[in-house]
Amino acid sequence: MDHVVGLGSLNVDYIYEAEDPSFLGPFYPEGIKRRQWVLTDTRRIEALQGELRKKSRMIARCGGGSAANTVFALARMGFQSGMIGKAGGDEDGDFLRKEMAIVPRLRIAPGNRTGQALIILGPDRDRIIILLPYANRELTWADLDPDFVRTFRMLHLTSLPGEGLALQTRLAQMVSGTVQISFDPGETYARRGLESLTPLLTLCQILFITQGELELLTGREWRDGIREVLDLGTRLVVVKKKGSGALIREAHETWDLPAPVMQAKDTTGAGDVFAAGFLGGVLQGLPLPACGALGLALARQSMMGIGRGAYPTKADFEAAIGFLEQ
């Protein structure tokens, strides 16, 4: 069997630098201040793009999407990965397919216009992400193939717009007897609440989530939220602690892994690379604390470049394992 197949949004990331990102204020959802949101109104998208041209500088263009980043990183590290998603036949789609060609097994269905993520880096290198979903909203059950998914050891799920959650839950229910499920809901799904995600969480072997997302998901302080998720049947909760490491929690054991503070060039996709390192460790049969340490080390490396430019290679993965074994 191959290793990991991803199912989530496929985007082209446009990464900008802005000395003062406050110009984005009028484009936030009314009354809500988030670090990530979805924009679908054509007039507002055009107005936003005009402001970006005037008040920021584009520094990179690369493939994106959370699951896509994870399987891309796994492919660079030498694992047999795959990706399911939807992209347009436009220039962005051609760019995306060319960059994702490193992933050995791609199932990218044709759509209208390729999804985009507009990523704005402020002076502190923190980021604001504005998602333009486009073709990602068009994914249907006809674009999915449970038999294809069953040829992998793991299915890694991340957020999809439209009917994505229902499609992912149905797929997970069909393959869960033979395929391990890992899940990174992100802020988008976490805001839907625990009831909406429960059918998927009951099938999940590994949940990747941040402290803030846990609180959004459960309505509880994040440590209490871990127990609530485990009680649903999720086997392992891996909490990505912003700037301070990770916490791994099984039913009866906890590992709290610190991480040194670093000056990042770009944190975009770092959590996805962490997931890739962690899953790579699981596939190698490493103990869970080593899987977490491996994920943290490779995520730190990814933040030394812009976009996917510093994602780890097979040599980096093997060197990190060697360092852990010393």
Tell me the pLDDT tens digit for each residue of 62-96. Answer: 999 999 999 999 999 999 999 999 999 999 999 99
* pLDDT recorded at residue 85: 97
Q: What is the Cα Rg of the chain in Å?
A: 18
**Rounded to whole angstroms, how far apart are CA atoms 210 and 201?**
15
DSSP sequence for 186-222: HHHHHTT-HHHHHHHHTT-SEEEEEHHHHHHHHSS-H
> What region does 88 belong to: left with phi over 0, alpha with psi -120 to 50, or beta?
beta
Q: Provide the CATH number for the domain formed by 2-10+64-114+133-325 in this structure.
A: 3.40.1190.20
Helix (H, G, I), strand (E, B) or coil at 112: coil
CB atoms within 10 A of CB 6: 31
User: Which of 182-186, 210-214, 268-272 has the lowest average pLDDT?
Assistant: 268-272
Helix, strand, coil % (nearest 5) of the chain? 45, 25, 30
pLDDT 10s digits, 3-20: 999 999 999 999 999 999
Interstrand relation of 115-121 and 127-132 (parallel, antiparallel or unpaired): antiparallel
Looking at mean pLDDT, say which of 13-27, 30-44, 50-64 comes out highest. 50-64
> Quick check: 247 pLDDT over 90?
yes
pLDDT in tens, 99-147: 999 999 999 999 999 999 999 988 876 788 999 999 999 999 999 999 9
Question: Rounded distance, CA 237 to CA 230, Å?
Answer: 7
Cα 194 from Cα 40, distance rounded (Å): 25
Q: Average pLDDT for residues 230-253, to the nearest whole number?
A: 94
pLDDT band at 32 (very low <50, low <70, confident <90, very high): low
At residue 36 the predicted structure's pLDDT band, cuts being 50, 70 and 90, is: confident
Calculate the dihedral angle through the C-alpha atoms of 16, 85, 111, 162, rounding to the nearest 10 degrees.
Answer: -80
